[in-house]
């Protein structure tokens, strides 16, 4: 396939959208962009004292290749910079150009189907209960050897949901024509299979 074909996947933290996105990209041989990493990279530079908007405008690919972007502190910073209109504007063109590349692209984030790529050929909204997502994030932190408290992680997930859903600029919500995939009671294989079925049907 050489024509652009955009798959937009949105959803809250730890719902499984990243895993599903990577699996779909591999299955259909498409490029993949975790747009959350863009905001994490900006957040990481902000934690080092840099102005967030300046960081967004000068972001380079190597900024995304950093293990520190997966820490809880950077995740919180990412959620904070994501509400800044100048940051979102600086990253908009990059994401849209990536989405329309030849051969197709899968983008996951929080406003792909609603703001970044409203004309995407496929839109998915991947979600799960806050408690399930908090347990996943807790297990992930423990596996990485990072200190974690389940109650604190749960509170953080709920606070991040509130920030993402209530922000004035590009709030987290399903696009009107998005297909909902709730992974609360699904294995990752089941969720991936559901997503692939939707994309296959859309591709005709």
Distance (Å, whole) CA 151 – CA 114:
32
Nearest residue to 44 via CA among 26, 67, 28, 22: 67
Q: What is the pLDDT of residue 44?
A: 95
Binding site listing for ATP:
11-19
- List, as residue ranges, the binding site: 11-19
Beta strands in the chain (DSSP E): 6-10, 31-34, 105-109, 122-127, 179-182
Q: pLDDT tens digits for 109-120?
A: 999 999 999 999
What pLDDT is stored for residue 201 in this prediction?
96
C-alpha distances in Å from residue 14, one per residue of 1, 85, 202: 31, 24, 26
Fold adopted by 6-203: Rossmann fold (3.40.50)
Average pLDDT across the chain, whole number: 93
pLDDT digits (tens, 9 = 90+) for 88-128: 999 998 899 899 999 999 999 999 999 999 999 999 999 99
Give the per-residue pLDDT at 64: 86
pLDDT of 41 > 70? The answer is yes
Residue 68 pLDDT level (bands cut at 50, 70, 90): confident
Position 94 scores a pLDDT of 84
- Inform me whether the pLDDT recorded for 2 exceeds 80: no
Domain limits of the chain? 6-203
pLDDT in tens, 12-31: 989 999 999 999 999 999 99
pLDDT at residue 62 in the model: 85
Q: How far apart are CA 201 and CA 204, in angstroms?
A: 5
**Rounded mean pLDDT of 179-186?**
97
pLDDT tens for 147-180 read 899 999 999 999 989 988 998 888 999 999 999 9
Q: What's the rounded mean pLDDT across residues 191-198? A: 97
- Give the H or E element holding residue 44: helix 35-47
For the chain, what percent of residues have pLDDT higher than 90? Answer: 77
Return the DSSP state at 178.
P
> For 67-178, where are the E strands, in sequence order?
105-109, 122-127
Taking the model in full, what pTM does it have? 0.86
Which of 39-64 are b and which e, b meaning 16 or more Cβ less than 10 Å from the residue's Cβ?
bbbbbbbbbeeeebbebbeebeeebe
Residue 182's alpha-carbon distances to 15, 28, 137, 159, 185, in angstroms, are 8, 22, 17, 20, 8
| Distance of alpha carbon 199 from alpha carbon 204, whole angstroms | 9
């Amino acid at each position: 396939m050489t024509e652009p074909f955009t798959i937009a996947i949105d959803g809250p933290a730890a719902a499984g959208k990243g895993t599903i996105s990577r699996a779909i990209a591999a299955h259909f041989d498409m490029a993949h962009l975790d747009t959350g990493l863009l905001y994490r990279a900006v957040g990481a530079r902000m934690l080092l004292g840099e102005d967030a908007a300046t960081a967004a405008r000068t972001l380079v690919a190597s900024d995304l290749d950093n293990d520190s972007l997966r820490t809880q502190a950077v995740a919180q910073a990412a959620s904070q910079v994501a509400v800044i209109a100048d940051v979102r504007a600086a990253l908009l063109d990059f994401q849209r150009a990536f989405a329309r590349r030849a051969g197709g692209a899968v983008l996951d984030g929080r406003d792909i189907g609603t703001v970044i790529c409203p004309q995407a050929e496929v839109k998915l909204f991947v979600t799960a209960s806050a408690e399930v997502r908090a347990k996943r994030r807790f297990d992930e932190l423990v596996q990485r050897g990072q200190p974690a408290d389940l109650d604190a992680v749960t509170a953080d997930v709920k606070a991040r949901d509130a920030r993402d859903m209530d922000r004035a600029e590009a709030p987290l919500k399903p696009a009107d024509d998005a297909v909902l995939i709730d992974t609360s009671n699904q294995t990752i294989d089941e969720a991936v299979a559901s997503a692939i079925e939707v994309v296959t049907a859309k591709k005709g």
